[in-house]
Structure 1
Amino acid sequence: MAKRDAVFPAKPHALYEHHRYSPAIRSNGFLFVSGQVGAREDGSPEPDLGAQVQLAFDNLNAVLAAAGASFADVVDVTLFMIDPDAIFETVWPVLQHNWGEKPFPNITAVGVTWLAGFTFEIKVIAKLPGGADA
Structure 2
Amino acid sequence: MSVTQLNSLQPAPGSKRPRRRVGRGIGSGLGKTAGRGHKGQKSRSGGFHKVGFEGGQMPLYRRLPKRGFTSMSRHLRAEVRLSEIQALPVDEIDVQALKQAGVVGHGVRFVKVIKSGELSRKVTLKGVSATAGARAAIEAAGGSLVE
Q: Which has the higher helix share?
A: 1
- Give the TM bin, normalised by the shorter chain: under 0.3
Q: Which has the higher contact order (CA 8 A, sep 6+)?
A: 1
TM-score (norm 2): 0.25
> Which structure has the greater CA radius of gyration?
2
TM-score (norm 1): 0.27
